[in-house]
Amino acid sequence: MTEEMSGKGLWIAVVTLFPELVRSLSSAGVLSRAVASGRLHIEVFNPRDFANDRHRSVDDRPYGGGPGMVMMVEPLMAAIEAAQAAARGATGSAAHVICLSPQGRALDQQRVVELVGTKSMILVAGRYEGIDERVTKLAVDEELSIGDYVLTGGELAAMVLVDAMSRFLPGTLGNDASVCEESHLDGRLDYPHYTRPEEIRGLPVPEILLSGDHQAVEKWRRKESLKRTWARRPDLLTKRGLSDEEYELLGDDFPDT
């Protein structure tokens, strides 16, 4: 994954102590297609390769005491700087640096779409108790969190972001129209999906989906999407608001509060 970029695409470096994890996740499914097509280019930089002692140390005990270890400044900074040099060589400009952290802004679909337009980025995957705060001050442009929970490392979070962005790269999905109907893209959850057989274990497919009336199907899907969002994530509708058409579509299914 260190070959030159083929054509225009999204260039991403992941700074990680576990490069094999990143390579594994990017070698299957949608991500592998994006890489193979040249739409996505992923490089990995291991801070351990930049450690300057014989033990290749990348962590040390925290000042002030406490449990666990903290990632050291110098190996991590050296890895980020090497990634920046690679970014400039590949794209002609510096990369946007994102640290995946529980302290970061919550990642949402809007931010994913915005980041797709970024020419290049460096994703810093922390480990242990976290990274020395001075790295954040010196090199990080943005901190992002994928949820209110703690992982053992930032690699999975980084690849969640990469996967979410890759879906917007042309030619990555089998059907490019799929991305236009996904959950959260318009502040709504997705509508229910069904496939063959028409009935199974006493549960039939809704008749409207068998009608062949495409306008009626589209209306049903919009309504079911709104109903599901109100039932499961009303905060999304509160944040985005509802149009007059959507109020009319929901009718009695939307409580008057």
78 Cβ contact partners less than 8 Å away, ≥ 6 residues apart: 47, 50
Average pLDDT on 220-231 reads: 94
DSSP character for 203?
A: E
Q: Is it the case that residue 247 has pLDDT exceeding 70?
A: yes
The predicted structure's pLDDT at residue 179: 53
Average pLDDT on 129-140 reads: 96
Cis before 197? omega within 30: yes
Average pLDDT on 5-20 reads: 85
Q: Indicate the pLDDT class of residue 229, thresholds 50, 70 and 90.
A: very high
Average pLDDT on 102-124 reads: 95
Distance CA 192, CA 208 (A): 13
The predicted structure's pLDDT at residue 3: 38
Answer with the residue of higher pLDDT: 144 or 239. Answer: 144
**Domain positions in the chain:** 10-166, 183-253
CATH number of the structural domain 10-166? 3.40.1280.10
Average pLDDT on 85-112 reads: 96
Percentage of the chain with pLDDT > 70? 91
Answer with the residue of higher pLDDT: 172 or 217. Answer: 217
Q: Which two tokens stand for residue 163?
A: 């996967």
96-106 and 120-125 beta bridge pairing: parallel
Output Rg (C-alpha) for the chain, integer angstroms. 22
Q: Indicate the pLDDT class of residue 195, thresholds 50, 70 and 90.
A: very high
Percentage of the chain with pLDDT > 90? 80
Q: Give the long-range contacts of residues 82-91, CB within 8 A, separation 24 or more.
A: 82/45, 82/50, 83/13, 83/15, 83/43, 83/45, 83/122, 84/122, 86/13, 86/43, 86/45, 87/11, 87/13, 87/120, 87/122, 90/4, 90/5, 90/11, 90/41, 90/120, 91/5, 91/11, 91/119, 91/120
Superfamily of domain 183-253 in CATH is tRNA(m1g37)methyltransferase, domain 2 (1.10.1270.20)
Question: What would the pLDDT profile of 47-98 be if each residue is shown by its tens digit?
Answer: 999 999 999 999 999 999 999 999 999 999 999 999 999 999 999 999 999 9
180 Cβ contact partners less than 8 Å away, ≥ 6 residues apart: none
What does pLDDT average to over the chain?
90
- Predicted TM-score (pTM) of the model is 0.85
Q: Is it the case that residue 131 has pLDDT exceeding 70?
A: yes
Element housing 29 (H / E): helix 29-36
Question: What would the pLDDT profile of 148-189 be if each residue is shown by its tens digit?
Answer: 999 999 999 999 999 999 999 987 875 554 554 554 567 899
The predicted structure's pLDDT at residue 7: 44
